[in-house]
Amino acid sequence: MLAENLIVLAIDGVQSGYLGPYGNTWVPTPGWNELAARSLLLEWHLADATDLAEIYRGFWSGLPAGGGRGDRKLSRLIERMDAASVTTTCLSDEPQVADWAAREAKFSVVEKTEPARPGRSFENWEESDAARWAMMAAETALAQTSRFFLWVHCGAMARSWQAPYAWRERFRDDEDPEPASFTEPPRGSLPKDVDPDELLDYAHAYAAEIMLTDAYLSAFCEALEHAPFADRTAFLVLSPRGYCLGDHRRLGIAEETWYSEAIQTPALLALPDGTSKLVRRTGLYQTCDLYATCLEILGIECDSRWSRSWLSPEPPPDRAAVLHAEGGALRTPAWLALWHGDRPFELYVKPDDRWEANDVSQRRSEIEPLAAEVLADYRRAAEEGDREMLQRLPEALLTVGE
């Protein structure tokens, strides 16, 4: 057992490229930076879906989206916790998540907060719904007594952008137009000839919202710093999904798109004994790997043949995938292969082309059939929920080569 208690903070809609620990240099994120300094950090944490229901089935069942036959039940993780006499609590400002936690996952306690109110930003972030949520989350955590597992979900990024307008202005150069004042999160598709200033507005507004996540993350951590259970509690922070800002003509938390801005998210774990400090993992971890990670932290035997703990001494996963009826994605150490419905196949070099700027599918046409075969193999293994069924990757998918 690595910790007596575990707190998981899931902040929906955070794109890792806007955070200091993932290389961003223009958005101040001191709270995320401080957490990263004492955490194990996953360099590549990839959602295996963009639908929140599918993502949560992965979190709480340990099985990938599109797989596991009938075993992807939401109660699987909580049943393991209950058997180990761990009290389970879920706090969410997203009604769907709260309903899943109560009706299907069977958490011991489920608490709902009001969803973020659309329509206004706040001069001081402490007045925002995010601040209210952070205060309630801290109060819920501090109220825990016996051995506990606390899951906290924040969905404000998808509902209302409430960061102070001045935070948008700080990113504006002298020649830039005044920042837009919208508070409704942008979503939808963009035309090919979209105005670059419009994209800049989205980026600056989103950066301000990232600063807001940083503010309430810092407040939450500060509130728990001197809790009586602090030296016995692990703290895990991640985002279920990323956020599209127009790089591929998509905006918002976009479903059925699998570019990295949509599926690559932050994932950090701080252990109470300090052994997680400045550890960086470079394997290809996915949503369903959280299941085994939570169980290992709490010293509970894992019953999943698919989920791979972030802390496992075994070699990390060498592939990740999105399985979907209308296409999918395959990520290997060298490539990201994308099939978006009836659109042409796309291929990107990894890790160099981090945000998919240069499609090389025409130059490396020999990769598509190999990637398609591996994705089909992944689908077969996922349906059985057994990672051991996966075939070895071809060498051409491990390295870019000539």
pLDDT digits (tens, 9 = 90+) for 201-248: 999 999 999 999 999 999 999 999 989 999 999 999 999 999 999 999
Question: Burial level of 172, CB count in 10 A (0-12/13-18/19+)?
Answer: middle
> What is the average pLDDT across 120-134?
86
Return the CATH number of the domain spanning residue range 318-402: 3.30.1120
Minimum mean pLDDT among 144-153, 171-180, 370-379: which range?
171-180
Q: Are 223 and 140 in contact (CB under 8 A)?
A: no
Instruction: Check pLDDT > 80 for residue 270.
Output: yes
pLDDT of residue 130: 85
Q: What distance separates the 2 farthest-apart alpha carbons in the chain?
A: 61
Burial of residue 35 (CB within 10 Å: 0-12, 13-18, 19+) is buried
Whether the CA torsion 242, 117, 32, 124 is positive or negative: it is: positive
**What band does 160 get if pLDDT is binned at 50, 70 and 90?**
confident
Distance CA 339, CA 258 (A): 9
pLDDT at 271 over 90: yes
5-317 has which CATH code? 3.40.720.10
Instruction: Say whether pLDDT at 188 is over 80.
Output: yes
Domain range summary for the chain, segments of one domain joined by +: 5-317, 318-402
Q: CA-CA distance, 94 to 154, in Å (whole number)?
A: 7
State yes or no: pLDDT of 256 exceeds 90: no
pLDDT at 164: 94
Quick: pLDDT tens for 20-58: 999 999 999 999 999 999 999 999 999 999 999 999 999
pLDDT of residue 60: 96
Question: Looking at residue 170, what DSSP letter applies?
Answer: T
Q: What is the pLDDT of residue 69?
A: 62
The percentage of residues in the chain with a pLDDT greater than 90, rounded to a whole number, is: 79
pLDDT score for 343: 87
Q: How far apart are CA 338 and CA 341, in angstroms?
A: 10
More confident residue, 162 or 120: 162
Determine the pLDDT at residue 70: 59
Query: What string of DSSP letters covers 56-85?
Result: HHHHHHS--TT-STT---TTHHHHHHHHTT
Q: 87 pairs with which residues across the strands?
A: 148
**pLDDT higher than 80, residue 151:** yes
pTM given for the model? 0.96
Question: Read out DSSP for 262-295?
Answer: HHB--EEEE-TTSTTTTEEEEEEEETTHHHHHHH
Q: Is the peptide bond before 351 cis (omega within 30 degrees of 0)?
A: yes
Least confident span in 154-158, 204-208, 234-238, 276-280: 154-158
User: For a pLDDT cut of 70, what percent of the chain falls above it?
Assistant: 99
